[in-house]
Amino acid sequence: MQLKRAASIFVSKISFLKKSFSERPFRLLDVGAGNKSASKIKNVFPLCEYHGIDIERDYNNSEEDFKLMTGFYEMDLTKLDMSLIPDNFFDGIWMVHVIEHLHNGDEVIKKLLPKLVSGGYLYIEYPGIKSTKLPSMHGSLNFKDDPSHVRVYSVKELTKLFQDNNCSVLKGGTRRNIWFIVAMPFRLLTYIIKGKKIEGNIFWDILGFAEYVWVRKN
């Protein structure tokens, strides 16, 4: 994953963590813990007890990142074996740009829900259906720009899944981060001045590339 794209994803993680937990302590299971996510989240939320999942241990993480993790699970989620992860344990489960890489992401979510405490929050973000109709661009603007994307999900589909599994959907829809929309012209200008190839993620929010669902377990 390119670092600029990772930065965009990190902002989404932070935004809804703040909405869910504010300044209070919480125990987080971050599904997709690469790109120094532990260090970044702990820097903003020092009271967070961070646990991560990723298919590879060394996905742009250093030993310093792992020292900040209370727990780390190296696993292939598609195998649906979550037995190593404790039940009724986490205050939050975050899956930001993960399920589009899973052919059975709906079943993965069902397996993860028992790990969440009653009253806990879950946030999912992914390229939405609209991303399949956007132009192809360096850095991913069309769903198929990333060859590891295997399935398109929708707010409607995930809302039903959560409602059928004892969760209340607090908010869902197209991601429109105002900061990224306002900053778009300046980011474009920076790329042009530096002579760098323009990244598709610059246009994610204004063109509606991503969808999200934010839920609370009943």
pLDDT band at 7 (very low <50, low <70, confident <90, very high): low
In this prediction, residue 59 has a pLDDT band, given cuts at 50, 70 and 90, of confident
Strand partners, 123: 94, 214
Cβ-contact 145, 189 below 8 angstroms: no
The average pLDDT across 37-58 equals 93
Environment class of residue 117 by beta-carbon count within 10 Å: exposed (0-12), middle (13-18) or buried (19+)?
middle
| Residue 87 pLDDT class (50, 70, 90 cuts) | very high
Which has the higher per-residue pLDDT, 37 or 3?
Answer: 37
Do 205 and 176 meet the contact criterion of CB atoms below 8 Å apart? Answer: yes
Q: Over the stretch 120-169, which tens digit does the pLDDT of each residue have?
A: 999 999 999 999 999 999 989 999 999 999 999 999 999 999 999 999 99
CA pair distance 26, 117, nearest whole angstrom: 11
Tell me what pLDDT residue 167 has: 98
Please tell me the pTM assigned to this model.
0.93
**What CATH number should be reported for the domain whose range is 3-217?**
3.40.50.150
pLDDT in tens, 96-105: 999 999 999 9
- Inform me whether the pLDDT recorded for 10 exceeds 90: no
pLDDT the model gives residue 54: 94
